[in-house]
Structures are given as structure tokens and as C-alpha cells.
Amino acid sequence: MSGVSQEEFIRTVREAIGTRRDVAERPADYGVARVVSPDGPIVEKFCEMVLDARMQLHRVGGPADVPAAVLAIMKQHGVRSAIVSEEAFPGREALRAAMEAAGCELLDLRAPDAPFEADLGITAARLAIAETGSIVVRSGPDVRRIGSLAVPVHVSIVPRERIVPDLMDWAAALGPDMPSNEVLITGPSKTSDIEMKLVVGVHGPRHVHVVLVG
Amino acid sequence: MSDARAATVPDFRTRAARAIAEPGLSQAVTSATLRQYEGRKRMLPELGHPLEIRDLAARIKDHTLAHLDRYLAIFAENVRRHGGQVHFAQTPDQAVEIIGGIARRHQVRRIVKAKSMTSEEIHLTEHLEADGIEVVETDLGEFIVQIDHDRPSHIVTPVIHKTTGQIARLFERVLGTPYTEDPEVLTAAARRHLREKFRTADMGICGCNFAVAETGTVCIVTNEGNGRYCTSRPKVVVALMGMEKMVPSMPDLAVMLKLLAKSSTGQRLTVYTNLMSGPRRPGDLDGPEEFHVVILDRGRSRILASEFRETLRCIRCGACLNACPVYRTIGGHAYNSVYPGPIGKLITPLLAGYDEYKDLPNASSLCGACFEACPVRIDIPMLLIRMRDDLRRQGKMHWFQRLAFRIWRWMMLSHRLYALGGGAGRLWDWVAPGGWHRRAPFPFSAWTRHRDLPVMARRPFRKMWKDLENS
């Protein structure tokens, strides 16, 4: 394969930098970047931002209430088939049973095209960010990358204790052990490419529901 | 733009005049850019310290650029640690060869591609298509550009210059969609068309908004989700990045993310912020089997060594385009460059050479709206002045301008000539209707062809000052 070696490429860069290295110290304090303080009402902030990002919010008291909330969402969209990712979240087994009892076909998460065929995809948020209303989905052995993308309706289960105040808190906890893929989802798939008119559901889900537990 | 094509392109003045004459263009671009500009103004104050965070972002970038050799090595090592492969290209040809080689090795027939301005720089799609590969642009705007054989005119919203009617006719012709001006229906048609491409592509290509050195992570942001598809479904994924996209660590990335979408489209955050660190891991349910990162120099090390280093801070948000009165009036195509607008006037001549683009740095009124809008505090007006000076030093200024400024200098340095010039000007002011000269005789017509000249003050400042001293 062509191109140049890393050594040669970096040598050119080093020569270009020359002696102008001490122009800026690496910043020591990122305090000015923080928007949401950990001391504030972060759950309320998260809820406000979820709605502002055009997602739908369902607040339930505990894991036992999750199935009813999801069944209502299924009814709203006429859902007949779904994929449920396999990461642990409170009430997962009860939810699956309730969905099947309601006549929803649960597709095999491992079937390559299942996310393209399902009416609904359920994932759990690894974290949620109050500042932006984002939900953080990490893919891996239990979660399909496209399980929250190819489906027309995405439901994210967000246990209340997973909400962090600020993007800085999300970033601070990330280190060298990054997974192959992590995505911050902040709203339904959308575009304004045609004369700045907003259209949702362009490639990804048209509807994103956040079920906040606790 | 290839050299051969550029040679036949008329000069900027002609291109700008044509753009202004194009019906509806200026209105379309103005209304779209104003919307994004207003969105930015509404959203920025949400950052508790909107000025300080921009200074912080500028410092992060300056620091990274001053140690780019080190961060590139750290980044490459970490990508490899995750199982990814890193390639280095100093020229567009090398980058194209690397990516073409990967495609050939996997006998790729269909590529889905997310938006990447860097890929436009190296004409990647054209080269891959010449190899007989189907390359599908999947960002809605870029898709429209591709099926219309057009060029993007804005780095964030590529079809800002097109009306819904034009897109409707295009879809009718190419996709067979019955004519409609409903963007919902048009978007749905594109969705159906592209969904099958996503499902069946062998290879995905994306750009890179930020590369995080300490974690070996490529970050791309998209609103539509096409970037996620392109990097999740195909077996092979290639991310192409300009080498300046580096940030040291995740907190640095968070600072940039806070600024990018707010500055760009007035969103709090782009819908999908996608972090990729290597290929799928053993046991993962999906994701690419091979993950390649191609790091491109293409003149960037030359910029790094020059007095224009701070242009490499640019995070391609497009805020300077949206703020620019010149861009709003002429749109993106008149710049004849992958990067239009204020930042394009700087980086295009720097990346592609002064010879082809020496008129771009002069296409500015130096009003400073771009500097005000820039999230990483690039002093674009100051750098444009510096570049004009650089052009002069390299003898790339028109002889007439050189002569005019020499005479100007001569008059400004002589007290008597200055006073004489002022006197002559005041005489001429007798024939200025409404206090403005709209048309001047040669050689001053070079000025009044494009702008009016105000009359001079009734009494020169020198005299007013003298009166003050005597009173």
C-alpha cells in the first residue's frame, strides 16, 4: 500500500512546527466549559432538554412501570415487531414478557437484518446528559450499533441515576479503554437540507422515546 | 478543482457578478444563512462563559498544533491498539491510492459515503468511480449534489443554493418521484433509495470531525444518521481526516462539541455524536471487521510552518460563512473552492497555492463578522490582510494596484501633497449628489465601480485641531 511511513509523515510535521512549540500550554482548568452544575436540579434539566430536542419523555416511578410505558408507545405507533438489546436494565425480563403477551414479535437481535425489519428498537442508556438531553448508547456484545438507528421508533430506557450533569462529566469518565462504538443521541434523525425546512426520520428513527425510570 | 479545469475558470470578479445575477440565489442563501446565524446567536449564551470557552477552545487547538507530531504518534498507536490500521498520505494522490487499494483488496463494488470535505479536496469519489466502484453520497444534501452532478456550496448545508422546486424536478427525473414540493415526501424518497444502499454496501467512507489522541477515537457528527450507517454496516470502514483534526483527550473533545453544533446550525448538539475506536471487537454484534484511518497532510504542514498556523484551528462549523455579507450575496460556488466563505479565502490559497486563488483574499470587506462568529477565535480579517501583504511580497499583485498604492504612499508621506490632494478632493465634492461620489473618473473609477465614496469633511482635521489649540 502506498502513502508514506509514519516516521516520514511525522518528521515533516515536526520540521513544520520548528521552534514554535511554546505558543500555548495545555489548558489546566476546563471550568469555563461547564454549563450544568452537579448541585442543581439535573433530572429536571435533563427532562427539559429531552423535550427541547424533540424526543418524547415518559417518566415512570420504577422498573415495574416500564412495561406499561412501552406498551403505550407500541400502541401509539402500531408496533408489531421489535428488537430488544441485551444489556442489563431494570425490568428487562418483565418488559419482554409483556411485549410478547401483547402480541409483539420479538426478533432475534443477532439476525443481521433484524434492525431493518423491526418496528421498534429498545436500548438502555449507559449514561444520559442533562446539559443536552442526550442519551449515550454503547454498542458491543449485547447492543447492536444499528439497533437504535435502522428502526423507525427507538425507545431508550434511562435509569435516573445514570444522568450526569454536563458533557464534561461524560468526557471525564472516558479513557483508553474505549469500546468500538459509542454514540450520543440527541433527538430523532433529522435534516434541514431542503430549503432549511425541518424533516425528521431521514435515515434513522422518526420517533425517539425516553423512558425515565425512578 | 483540477488544474486543467481551473485554467478555464473566469476570475473571481466575473464569477461573483454571475452569482449576483442568478435569479433567487442571493435571497435563498441569505435566508438560509441568516437562520443559522440567528440560531447561533440564540444558542451561544447558553454556554455560561461564551467568550471564555472560545478562548479555551482556541488554546486547546493551538497547543495541539504546536505538538501535533507527538499527538499524531499517540493517536496512531492507540488506533492500532484497538485493532485499527493507520495510513499516512502527504498528497491527495497518495490518499486516493491508499483508499482505492483497500477497496480493490476487498473487491468492493458499492461504497456508502458520509459527508467529508476532505474527500472533496482529493476528489475521492471521482477516482473511486473511475475504478468502476459505485460510490453513494448518503448525506441528503450531498446526495442531491451527486445526482445533479453539482458541487456543494456550503460546508455544512451543501444545497443551500437550490430551491425545493429544483430538487423536486431533479427527483422526478432521477428517482422517478412524482413532482412535489413537500420536503417530507422528497426526503422519504431519498430515505427509501438510500436504505437499500446502506444495507448492501461493502465499504463505508466517512470523514472525521475530531480525532482524540489519548483514546484513539474518531468522532463524526451527523444529524441524519447516515454517518452511523456508513460506519456500522459495511465490513470495511475508512475514515479520512486532515491531520489538524486532532485533540488531545476526551475533555478537549467535549469543549469542541459544545461549540460546534451551536456555532454551526444553532443546535445544542448534533443529533448523533458518533465515537469510533477501532473495528468491532470479538463478540460484538455488528460493526466493521476492518477499520482504517487515513491521515492527510496536503499542504497542512506548510500552513503549520507559516504565519497562518491559526487557520488550522478551524473546526469547519461554517459560522463564518453564515455571518459573511459577501458569502450571503454570492453563495458558495463563486469561490470555486471546496471551502468557500471567509475561512475558504484563507485556506484555499494556502492548501492549493496562491497562483490559482490569488483573488480570493481580496474578496472581503474586512468587516470582521467572521472573526466575531468564529468559535476558535481565528482572526480572519487580520490574516487576510497578512495574506494580501504576502501576495504583494511575492509579486502576485496587479501592476495597477501596486502603482496606485505606491502613489498613495508617496502622497501620505508628504505634508504638502497630502494637503494638495485634500484640496482637490474638496473641489470635486461640489459635484457629489447626496454627499456621495457614485462615479469617478479614471483611475478612481477602480474604486467607485464597486462602492460609493463619501465626500470629505468640510474642514480638514488639521485645521480643526489648530483652531482648538488657538482657542
Tens of pLDDT, residues B256-273: 999 999 999 999 999 999
Q: How far apart are CA A110 and CA A99, in angstroms?
A: 19
CA distance B424 to chain A (A): 49
ipTM for the complex?
0.97
The predicted pLDDT at position B3 comes to 43
Task: Categorize the per-residue pLDDT at B7 as very low, low, confident or very high, splitting at 50, 70 and 90.
Answer: low
Region B44-56 average pLDDT: 95
Mutate to test the interface with B, among A180, A185, A207, A210 (most CBs of B within 10 A): A180
Mutate to test the interface with B, among A2, A34, A193 (most CBs of B within 10 A): A193
C-beta atoms of A15 and B305 within 8 A: yes
CA distance A63 to chain B (A): 26
- The mean predicted confidence, pLDDT, of chain B is 94
Region B335-349 average pLDDT: 96
C-beta atoms of A21 and B66 within 8 A: yes
DSSP state at residue B362: G
Q: How far apart are CA B231 and CA A180, in angstroms?
A: 11
In chain A, what percentage of residues exceed pLDDT 90? 92
Task: Categorize the per-residue pLDDT at A43 as very low, low, confident or very high, splitting at 50, 70 and 90.
Answer: very high
Region B6-23 average pLDDT: 86
The predicted pLDDT at position A39 comes to 95
- The pLDDT of residue A1 is above 70: no
Of B447, B461, B455, B453, give the one whose Cα is nearest residue B419: B461
- The pLDDT of residue A23 is above 90: no
> In chain A, whose CA is at the least distance from the CA of B307?
A20
Contact residues on chain B for A46, CB-CB shorter than 8 A = none
The residues, any chain, with a CB within 8 Å of residue A154's CB and separated by 6 or more, are A120, A121, A122, A123, A148, A185, A204, A205, A207, A208, A209
Q: What is the pLDDT of residues B185-207, one digit of tens each?
A: 999 999 999 999 999 999 999 99
Q: Does A19 touch chain B (CB under 8 A)?
A: no
Region A151-158 average pLDDT: 98
- Helix pair B12-21, B25-43: axis angle to 10 deg: 90
Question: Which of A5, A167, A201 faces B254 most closely, judged by CB atoms?
Answer: A167
- The pLDDT of residue B368 is above 70: yes
Contact residues on chain A for B73, CB-CB shorter than 8 A = 6, 10
CA distance B379 to chain A (A): 16
Q: What is the pLDDT of residues B52-84, one digit of tens each?
A: 999 999 999 999 999 999 999 999 999 999 999
- pTM tops 0.90, yes or no: yes
C-beta atoms of B301 and A49 within 8 A: no
Contact residues on chain A for B35, CB-CB shorter than 8 A = 196
The predicted pLDDT at position B4 comes to 42
Q: What is the pLDDT of residues A160-206, one digit of tens each?
A: 999 999 999 999 999 899 999 999 999 999 999 998 899 999 999 99
Which H/E stretch holds residue B96? helix B92-105
What burial letters (b/e) apply to B120-137, b meaning 16+ CB within 10 Å? bbbbbbebbeeeebebbb
Residues of chain B with CATH 3.40.50.10420: 63-298
Mutate to test the interface with A, among B272, B292, B303 (most CBs of A within 10 A): B272
CA–centroid distance for B441 within its chain: 38
Contact residues on chain B for A51, CB-CB shorter than 8 A = none
The CATH code of the domain at B63-298 is 3.40.50.10420
- The pLDDT of residue A91 is above 90: no
CA–centroid distance for B146 within its chain: 19
C-beta atoms of B276 and A181 within 8 A: yes
A residues 168-197 closer than 8 Å to B (CB): 168, 170-172, 174-176, 178-197
The predicted pLDDT at position B5 comes to 47
The predicted pLDDT at position B98 comes to 98
Region B170-185 average pLDDT: 96
Q: What is the CA radius of gyration of chain B?
A: 25
Q: What is the pLDDT of residues B435-449, one digit of tens each?
A: 888 888 887 888 888
Region A9-35 average pLDDT: 93
Q: How far apart are CA B88 and CA B99, in angstroms?
A: 11
CA distance B333 to chain A (A): 17
Where in chain A are the domains? 41-213
CA distance B147 to chain A (A): 15
C-beta atoms of B268 and A186 within 8 A: yes
Identify the weakest region by mean pLDDT among B5-19, B167-181, B408-422: B5-19
Other beta carbons less than 10 A from residue B413's beta carbon: 9
Identify the weakest region by mean pLDDT among A102-116, B286-300, B445-459: B445-459
How far from each other are the two terminal CA atoms of chain A, in whole angstroms? 54
Q: What is the pLDDT of residues B107-158, one digit of tens each?
A: 999 999 999 999 999 999 999 999 999 999 999 999 999 999 999 999 999 9
Q: Does A28 touch chain B (CB under 8 A)?
A: no
- Going along B248-311, which residue ranges are E strands? 272-276, 290-296
C-beta atoms of A180 and B280 within 8 A: yes
CA distance B357 to chain A (A): 23
Mutate to test the interface with A, among B60, B88, B169 (most CBs of A within 10 A): B88
Mutate to test the interface with B, among A6, A123, A145 (most CBs of B within 10 A): A145
C-beta atoms of A145 and B286 within 8 A: yes
Q: B289 in helix, strand or coil? A: coil
Region B393-407 average pLDDT: 85
CA distance A148 to chain B (A): 10
The residues, any chain, with a CB within 8 Å of residue B269's CB and separated by 6 or more, are A132, A134, A167, A184, A186, B257, B261
Contact residues on chain A for B97, CB-CB shorter than 8 A = 1-3
Exposed/middle/buried for residue B278 (C-beta within 10 Å: 0-12, 13-18, 19+)? buried
A residues 78-137 closer than 8 Å to B (CB): 109-110, 112-113, 116, 131-134
The residues, any chain, with a CB within 8 Å of residue A183's CB and separated by 6 or more, are A136, A137, A139, A145, A148, B228, B272, B273, B274, B275
The CATH code of the domain at A41-213 is 3.40.50.10420
Region B345-373 average pLDDT: 94
The predicted pLDDT at position B51 comes to 95
C-beta atoms of A187 and B226 within 8 A: no
C-beta atoms of B228 and A33 within 8 A: no
Question: Which of A1, A10, A35 faces B73 most closely, judged by CB atoms?
Answer: A10
Q: Are A133 and A170 in contact (CB under 8 A)?
A: no
